[in-house]
Chain A
Amino acid sequence: MEFGEILSEALTALTINKMRTGLATLGIIIGIGAVIALISLGQSGQKAVESQIQSLGSNLLTVIPGSPNSGGIRQAAGGLTTLTYDDAKAITTSATVTDVANVSAELSRRAQVTSGKNNTNTQIIGVTPSYLTVHNLSMQSGSFIIQRDVDSLGKVVVIGPQVVSDLFGDGSNPIGQTIRVNKLALKVIGVTASKGGSGFMNQDDMVFVPLTTAQKQLFGVDYLSAISIQAKSDKVMTDAQDQVGYLLLSRHKIGNPAQADFSILSQQDIMGAASSITGTFTALLSGIAAISLVVGGIGIMNIMLVTVVERTREIGLRKALGAKKKSVIQQFLVESIILTMLGGVLGMVLGMVLSVAVSKIINLPFVISFQAIALAIGVSGGIGILFGWYPARKASNLSPIEALRYE
C-alpha cells in the first residue's frame, strides 16, 4: 500500500467523525500551545533581561557591599555600609589599578518626588559625573551633574524621561523648575535620553542627584550602595576585577579574600544569575505544560482505542481480504499521527498568538523560537506514534473471524 493511499484513507476515516477528531486534537492543541507559549515567553523574557543588563553599561564591574560567600546580591539590598566615596576615589587614583577607565560611586534609594501637585515614587541615585559614561547614558536636554555639584552639595537634579512625564505631564519644560525629593527642593538641570527600558532597573525612571547631596542631605548616610567600574576593554575585565579587589581588601584591612566585606560582580555574573533564574522558570513552566501534553496524548490513545473497538468489523474484513498486520498498524498509526500533528500545528499557532499577545501586553520583545516549532512538530508526531502504537497493535492482532463476528 502506497503512503499516499494510507494518508487519504486515514483522512477519510478522520473526517467521518469530525466532532471526535476535534476533541481528540484539542488536548494536543492545548498542550503544544502551552509549551510553545511558555518557551517563547521564557526566551523573550531572558532576552529582555539580557538586553537590560547590557544597557546598564559596557565592560562593567559592580562592587557591592557584602561578602561574596553569603550571597552578595541579597545582602546588598539589606544596605551594608562597608563601601565609601573614599574607596571609589582610591580606585580612580591608585597606581596599582591600571585597567580601569571610569569609576562611578553610587548611592541609590527609593523616595517620593514631588513637583507641585504631581508626585511619583522612584529611584533616587546619588552620582558623580562619571555615572553618565559608565552607564552608557546620554542627555536629552540640559546638562548632567558636574564635579562642582558633588563637591559643594549642589541642590541640583537630573531626571529621566519617565519622571518628566510623571511630574510634568502637561508638557512644560522641566529644566529650571524646582522639584522636591524628600521635601528637599532641587533645581532640575537636565533630562537624560530615553533608553526604552522597562521592568527592573529602568533607567528612564530615575532621579540623579549629586552623591554628597544624597548622602548628607537626603538620606543621612556616609556609605555607598555600589561602585560601578568600567574596565578599559573587555579583555582586561578579570585584571581590573583583581586590581580593584586587592586595593579594597588592603583599604579595608582584610587579609583573607574569603572574608571580603564586598563583592565584585561582572556583567557576565549578573547575566548568568539572571538567566539561570529565568531559565529555571521557563523550564518549570514548560514542565507543567508538558504534563498537559502527556494528558493530551492519553486522550489520543483513548480515542484511538474507541475507534479500534468501533471498527472491529472493518478491521476483520480488511484482514480477511488480505491486509497484513503491517498494513493495519500503518493505517491506525497514521491516523493517530495525523491527529497529533494537526493538534501540533494548531497548538503552535495558538502558542504563537498567545506569546505575541502576552509579550505585547507586558512589553517584552517577541521571540519566534525555531526550537519551539521543531519541538512542537517533533513532540506531537512522537506522541502520535507513542500513544497510537498500542491501539494500532491491538487492531492488527485482532483475529479476522472474531472481528467479523463482532456486533
Chain B
Amino acid sequence: MIQIKNVSKVYRNDTVETKALDDVAFEIKKGEFVAIMGPSGSGKSTLMHILGALDTPTSGTYILDGEEVGKLSDDKLAEIRNKKIGFVFQAFNLLPRTTAMKNVMLPMVYGDVAKSEREARAKKYLEMVGLGDRMQHTSSQLSGGQMQRVAIARSLVMDPAIILADEPTGNIASNQASEIMAIFQDLNEQGHTIIMITHEPDIAEHAKRIIHIKDGKIVKDSDKHSQRRAK
C-alpha cells in the first residue's frame, strides 16, 4: 500500500542545504504497525510529512495505493489527507477554545460527510477513546493524555486506512502514554495501518516492526521482535 523508492528530501535555506532524507526506500503493507525510530534531527518528521502527503520529496517516488503522490495537485493531496490518512501530532494541534466534539467533527466538515451524521460519528469515536463524558470540554479543560485521545478520535472519524502519529506520547505523562498505545494496538487489530514516530525505545516496542533511521538514512529495519502489549 505504501512504497517509498529512493526518496530524498533536501531543505535549502539561503546558504545552507540540509539533506533531511537521503535515498530512503521501504514498503509498508496494509495492517502493519510500524515504529520509526531515530535520534532527534534524523529526519523522522520529514519522513512522516512525506508519508502524510503534507509534503513532497525532492527526488524519488512515493506511491500510495498505486498513485504517485508527488505528481498530485494541492487539492488532490488535501483529499488524500482527508480520506486516507489520520494524523496524530506530538503537539495535539486541537483548535483552541473549541469543544472536543467540534474538534473531532472538523475533518468531516472538509470530507463532505452529511451534517446529520457528523455528531453521531464524533460521539462514537470519542466514546471509543474513553472521552464520552468530556465531549463538551474545550482543550484547555483537558489533560495532555485526554487532548491526545481527542486527536486520535479526530484522526479516526474519516475511517482512514492509515494512521500517522508523530511522537504521540512526546508531550504526555508516561502512565497516559500506555493508554494511547493500547488504543493504537486495538486499532491495528481492527485493520488500520499504523505508522508511529518515536525516539523512545519502550514506546517503539509496542509496534510490530521498527525502522531505525539516522542522518536521513535507514540503518535498521526489523520485524523480528516481540511486540509489547499495552494492556
A5: interface (CB < 8 Å): yes
Interface residues of B in 96-123 (CB under 8 A from A): 96-97, 106-107, 109-111, 115
B33: interface (CB < 8 Å): no
Closest to B106 in A: A321
* Dominant secondary structure of chain B at its interface with chain A: helix
Closest to B86 in A: A321
A327–B49 touching, CB < 8 Å: no
User: Which of B78, B87, B107 neighbours the largest number of chain A CB atoms within 10 Å of its CB?
Assistant: B78
A325–B97 touching, CB < 8 Å: no
B81–A322 touching, CB < 8 Å: yes
B30 to chain A, nearest CB (A): 21
Task: Count B-side interface residues using an 8 Å CB cutoff.
Answer: 25
Interface residues of B in 43-92 (CB under 8 A from A): 49, 52, 54-55, 74-75, 78-79, 81-83, 87, 89
A394: interface (CB < 8 Å): no
User: Which of A1, A325, A401 neighbours the largest number of chain B CB atoms within 10 Å of its CB?
Assistant: A401
By a CB distance below 8 angstroms, the chain A residues around B110 are 1, 318, 321-324, 327
* Dominant secondary structure of chain A at its interface with chain B: helix
Closest to A326 in B: B75
Bound: A189/B95 CA distance, A: 87
| Per-position binary interface string of chain A over residues 394-407, scored 1 when its CB falls under 8 Å from any chain B CB and 0 otherwise | 00000111001000
B139 to chain A, nearest CB (A): 12
Give the interface residue-count category, chain A. Answer: 20 to 34
By a CB distance below 8 angstroms, the chain B residues around A314 are 95-96
Bound: A326/B111 CA distance, A: 13
Given A5-B109, A401-B54, A401-B55, do A321 and B95 touch, yes or no (CB 8 Å)?
no
Further pairs besides A5-B115, A322-B158, A323-B78: 5, Cβ < 8 Å: A314-B95, A318-B110, A320-B54, A320-B87, A322-B107
18 CB contacts below 8 A, A to B, read A1-B110, A16-B97, A314-B95, A314-B96, A319-B81, A320-B87, A320-B93, A321-B82, A322-B79, A322-B81, A322-B107, A322-B158, A323-B110, A324-B75, A324-B78, A324-B79, A404-B89, A404-B93
Please give the residue numbers on chain A whose beta carbons come within 8 Å of chain B beta carbons, in ascending order: 1-2, 5, 16, 313-314, 317-327, 399-401, 404
Please give the residue numbers on chain B whose beta carbons come within 8 Å of chain A beta carbons, in ascending order: 49, 52, 54-55, 74-75, 78-79, 81-83, 87, 89, 93, 95-97, 106-107, 109-111, 115, 154, 158
